[in-house]
Amino acid sequence: MTSPWVVFLLALSAATSALDNGLMRTPPMGWLAWERFRCDIDCENDPKNCISENLFRDMADRLAEDGWRELGYVYINIDDCWASKQRDSQGRLQPDPQRFPGGIAKLARYVHDRGLKLGIYGDLGTFTCMGYPGTTLDRIDTDAQTFAEWGIDMLKLDGCYSNATVQEQGYPLMSKALNATGRPIGYSCSWPAYQGGLPPKVNYTQLGQICNLWRNYGDIQDSWDSVLNIVDWFSTNQDVLQPAAGPGRWNDPDMLIIGDFGLSLDQSRAQMALWAIMAAPLFMSNDLRTLSSEARVILQNKAVISINQDQMGIQGRCLLKEKSGIEVFWRPLSNSASALVFFSRRTDMPYRYTTSLGKLNCTAGTYMVYDVFLEKLLPELNDSKDFTVSINPTGVVMWYLWPLPAPQEVRERGGVYPDFRRKYRVSSRKGQPGGLGSPFVL
């Protein structure tokens, strides 16, 4: 897409040391309870939707049986409100006995038996955000060991009812404590979100050494305005945030709300595309039991997932913002490929946006173009040739591009492009992937 030298510098900037637990080398994917189910604990009157072991078993069944697990959605993450209001006689956290009568360890076995992983929520403070027992500094080792004994695979550690001094001590201490258990537990830190998300208060080099992912900004809400607010903050601060991300350490703009109530179909595609460009964790927060077919198609789009899961792990960037309300985002991918998103902030009508790859600082040459949401190859495109894309209001057009001739590795694979090696096979023409008009096939 752009010069090899620029891509090299981006990769170099993303090569700082990461938490040495070997986990989450690509952005983690799964399902998270909070945005959709919040702190509903009324199991007597709302048994299907309350925070209980039944809810998490239901969602585990859906991930395992409805094709999500095979696409990479493997985490089932409990959020706040799971615990009893009191620790046990040994000072250990314990689940609410009415809502989790089988205990967390039994729930973890249920999740693991389905080829999935279980995440849990804690808070580095006297209380969680909703008033349940927190993890004070003197409880860190105990709670880390408890989570490991239960079979937990990921911990999200919030920061309510704490302060900057406690956070500065506690987040690194929990990282050490989790590693000391001997169980591989992915670690999600909310630390930067409580310190404004930016230097000098936030040290992203240090974060990359102690956490696998971190919340930079405020919670997402089920609205288009909330999505835009997050995208704007990440774009405005991309020069700070982009170098911080990489394999094993990810900026987290929060959950996918696709399939809930606040986004249109076009807005849902836009969130999915922009989260993929940002190399964001893909944690759905919706009801998988009643999810619409339209939302499922977006969330299970294999090309978008392949872009999100690219092995290089370089976070994408906003290239430009036009006065017309069109914005262009770009992410470099493995094997000289790249992803482009044309995003419309307009609310009136589809907008026909004309540009060229050359105007977007593309290296001179000819490119194959795959339209991610139309799911088809487009005609080959030369960098100097103008093209026009029609973008729906609050929608996106997303392209996967790679230069011709194909890299040697692709030709040696008989036309299988590495980024699609588990998802797609491309018919070849003269040793190149995907001759003009040829389809991706499963």
148 token code pair? 């490991």
Residue 350 near residue 376, CB atoms below 8 Å:
no
3-state DSSP assignment of residue 269 = helix
Distances (CA, A) of 136 to 82, 130, 178, 179, 370: 18, 16, 15, 18, 50
Q: What is the pLDDT of residue 17?
A: 55
Q: What is the pLDDT of residue 19?
A: 76
Residue 428 half-sphere exposure toward CB, CA atoms < 13 A: 13
DSSP class per residue in 343-354: EE--SSS-EEEE
Residue 268 near residue 335, CB atoms below 8 Å:
no
Angle between helices 265-277 and 224-236 (to 10 degrees): 20
Average of per-residue pLDDT across 274-297: 98
276 token code pair? 């993929």
Model pTM?
A: 0.91
CA 91 to chain centre: 34
Average of per-residue pLDDT across 159-186: 98
Stretch (H or E) spanning 399: strand 396-404
Q: What is the pLDDT of residue 2?
A: 54
The candidate with the shortest Cα–Cα distance to 111, out of 80, 143, 73, 146, is: 73
Q: Higher confidence at residue 426 or residue 42?
A: 42
Residues 6 or more apart whose Cβ sits within 8 Å of residue 119: 30, 32, 75, 76, 77, 78, 152, 153, 154, 155, 156, 186, 188
Average of per-residue pLDDT across 104-116: 98
Residue with tokens 């607010």: 229
The single residue of 123, 153, 158, 419 carrying the catalytic annotation is: 158
pLDDT band at 359 (very low <50, low <70, confident <90, very high): very high
CA pair distance 194, 176, nearest whole angstrom: 21
Asked if the model's pLDDT at residue 123 lies above 60, the reply is yes
Asked if the model's pLDDT at residue 188 lies above 90, the reply is yes
Average of per-residue pLDDT across 84-108: 98
% of the chain residues with pLDDT over 90: 86
Stretch (H or E) spanning 193: helix 191-194
Q: Classify residue 322 as left (phi > 0), alpha (psi -120 to 50) or beta.
A: beta
3-state DSSP assignment of residue 330 = strand
% of the chain residues with pLDDT over 70: 88
Please report, for the chain, the start and end positions of each structural domain, with discontinuous segments joined by +: 4-308, 317-441
Average of per-residue pLDDT across 169-193: 98
In one letter, which amino acid is 3? S
Strand intervals (E) in 63-215: 75-77, 117-123, 154-158, 186-189, 213-215
Asked if the model's pLDDT at residue 103 lies above 60, the reply is yes
33 token code pair? 């309870």
What is the CATH architecture assignment of 4-308?
A: Alpha-Beta Barrel (3.20)
Stretch (H or E) spanning 282: strand 282-284
57-80 pLDDT tens trace:
999 999 999 999 999 999 999 999
Asked if the model's pLDDT at residue 406 lies above 80, the reply is no
What value does the mean pLDDT of the chain take? 91
Asked if the model's pLDDT at residue 31 lies above 50, the reply is yes
In one letter, which amino acid is 379? P
Asked if the model's pLDDT at residue 441 lies above 70, the reply is no
CA pair distance 245, 18, nearest whole angstrom: 9
pLDDT band at 20 (very low <50, low <70, confident <90, very high): confident
308-357 pLDDT tens trace:
999 999 999 999 999 999 999 999 999 999 999 999 999 999 999 999 99
Pair type for strands 440-441 and 425-426: antiparallel
Bridge partners (DSSP) listed for residue 426? 440
Q: What is the pLDDT of residue 150?
A: 98
What is the CATH architecture assignment of 317-441?
A: Sandwich (2.60)
Angle value at C-alpha 87, between 82 and 89, nearest 5 degrees = 140
CA pair distance 35, 221, nearest whole angstrom: 7
Asked if the model's pLDDT at residue 440 lies above 50, the reply is no
196-235 pLDDT tens trace:
999 999 999 999 999 999 999 999 999 999 999 999 999 9
Q: What is the pLDDT of residue 404?
A: 93
The single residue of 219, 222, 266, 371 carrying the catalytic annotation is: 219
CA pair distance 407, 195, nearest whole angstrom: 44
Asked if the model's pLDDT at residue 8 lies above 50, the reply is no
Asked whether the bond before 200 is cis by omega within 30 degrees of 0, the reply is yes
pLDDT band at 81 (very low <50, low <70, confident <90, very high): very high
Dihedral over Cα of 227, 260, 281, 273: its sign: negative
The candidate with the shortest Cα–Cα distance to 241, out of 270, 24, 249, 256, is: 249
Q: What is the pLDDT of residue 200?
A: 97
Q: What is the pLDDT of residue 430?
A: 32
- Answer yes or no: 158 catalytic: yes
Other beta carbons within 10 Å of 244: 22
CA pair distance 121, 54, nearest whole angstrom: 17
